[in-house]
Amino acid sequence: MSGHIAILGVFVADTAYRADRAPNMGETILGNSFALGPGGKGSNQAVAAARAGGETHMITKLGRDTFADLAFSTWKDAGVIPAVTQHDDGYTGAAYIFVEEATGNNAIIVCPGVAMSISPADVEAHHNLIASASVFVTQLEQPIDAAMRALEIAKAGGATTILNTAPAADLPKDIFPLCDYVTPNESEAEGVTGIPVTDVASAKKAATALLDLGVGAALITLGENGSLLGRQDAMTHIPAFNAGPVVETTGAGDAFNGGFAVALSEGKSPEEAARFGSATAAISVTRPGTAPSMPARSEIDALLAI
């Protein structure tokens, strides 16, 4: 019997503008297209976990506005259970994403809004939900002191703790022993360890450095090269799955983390859980968007069965 998953993180509304070029200061140009969609690493991971079959609770702060409505509708569709406070004195996060039509290159401005005020006291308000979780997940889009306090509560309660070290940030040394797993990608692993990660061999070096910092295990995602699970007794390379042509990779890391958390909550081994996360990510990249690309459990099981 699996227990619940608690995720502390941020929701932002992604506003994506495509145009031939960026406007100069003081200039107005016509764009080619616009899209509005749900984003934020914590929210994307919660959607991935819920669609993969986990009882998933999302802990965050929102404003009382149209983008908050988008958050709630996104979570309702996916089956995420919100553990959310709403605030009149702040706004729900948003991201401006400019995409250059010819190249696909982008420039992004993220304003996390009221979620940037998530504090250790806010985390304490959800103490029981975090302490009783089977698996707890957080990232670095909300303040680090809040993530630290949540990891402490989860660890003390017996939850399996996952820190997705994204986006890259300077971390206090005492955060690492609170983490049963850290799940950076190549650049984030380099940001923490100083070791450039370009292949499986260099990932093993970075994983060793992370273990030396006190984490229980390092799970480094390597894009099309799969992932590396590094533990004190073994280094295991998990190949990537091919679920079809790649359309968009933006949500791959969040899909992986959500799927990984679900598998751990069901008692699967770390290696099995990493394979489950890989399959979740492989399906997500065949579709556009982040949260909308997350696969259903039946799709993940079918890919794993091939």
Torsion, CA 268, CA 123, CA 125, CA 256, rounded to 10 = -30
pLDDT of 227 reads 97
264 neighbors 274 (Cβ within 8 angstroms): no
108: helix, strand or coil? strand
pLDDT of 108 reads 87
Q: How far is 110 from 97, CA to CA, in rounded Å?
A: 8
Q: Helix %, strand %, coil % for the chain, to 5?
A: 40, 25, 35
pLDDT of 68 reads 98
Q: Among 3.40.1190.20, 3.20.20.70, 3.40.50.150, 3.40.50.1820, what is the CATH number of 41-91+116-304?
A: 3.40.1190.20
The residue written with tokens 């909300």 in the block is: 142
73 neighbors 47 (Cβ within 8 angstroms): no
CB atoms closer than 10 angstroms to residue 171: 19
Full-model pTM: 0.95
* H or E element in which residue 74 lies: helix 66-78
- Ranges of the chain whose pLDDT falls below 50: 1
Torsion, CA 254, CA 259, CA 260, CA 261, rounded to 10 = 90
Catalytic residue among 65, 170, 254, 301: 254
Q: Is 14 a catalytic residue?
A: no
Q: How far is 285 from 271, CA to CA, in rounded Å?
A: 21
Strands 92-100 and 106-113: antiparallel
pLDDT of 99 reads 86
